[in-house]
Amino acid sequence: MIEKRYVLKKSIKKIINKLMIMTIIVLSGMILVKTNPELKEQIKRIVYDNNFKLIENKKLYEKYFGDILSKKHSNNNEMVSMEKLNYKKYEKYKEGVKLTVTNNYSVPVLESGVITYINNDTILIEQVNGIKVSYSNISLSNIKLYDYLEKGSILGEVKGNELYLKFQKDGKYLDYKKYI
């Protein structure tokens, strides 16, 4: 019993230390940005204008601070499908592809990654392989911005029978035939 208390106290101390370090880093960064306009512009360019790789930063965070935001702390009600993306036909559409699927098809995530954008019926996922995939024409399930989804997780259902996908890496659109 005493040993369990000791382990619990030690775990709580670790979490508090990590939070304090992150707070100091964030506050220091805010002070530097406030006092140096050039640094503010440089950060803005890196984060907003360039291709900011969220997955790589998640790995860096986990390397130095542990897995405090891991899947084991997330919603356990996530639906997972073991099937691959099933479609009846495909055709090029703008920078991506339009897939004809069955009505109300449940769309699985093609590769694990983080949701970096949600708007109406469009979701953008930055996959662990660095490819950004845009899924459009979807009725969203219970997902939120910055959720980490495993391969095969269900994003939602297709509205009707058309699913639109775009694949992008380093600001360039990729050939969809390699990924569907």
The band of 2, judged by pLDDT with boundaries at 50, 70 and 90, is low
As a whole number of angstroms, the distance between CA 37 and CA 25 comes to 18
The pLDDT of residue 74 is above 60: no
Owner of token pair 């996922």 = 125
Cβ 104 vs Cβ 84: under 8 Å:
no
Ranking 24-33, 44-53, 100-109 by mean pLDDT, the lowest is: 44-53
Superfamily of domain 89-178 in the CATH hierarchy: Glucose Permease (Domain IIA) (2.70.70.10)
Mean pLDDT along residues 114-140: 90
Q: Amino acid identity, residue 138?
A: I
Return the pLDDT at 70: 45
The pLDDT of residue 76 is above 50: no
As a whole number of angstroms, the distance between CA 83 and CA 110 comes to 10
Cβ 124 vs Cβ 145: under 8 Å:
no
Q: Is the pTM of this model over 0.75?
A: no
- Phi (first) and psi of residue 80, to 5 degrees: -130, 140
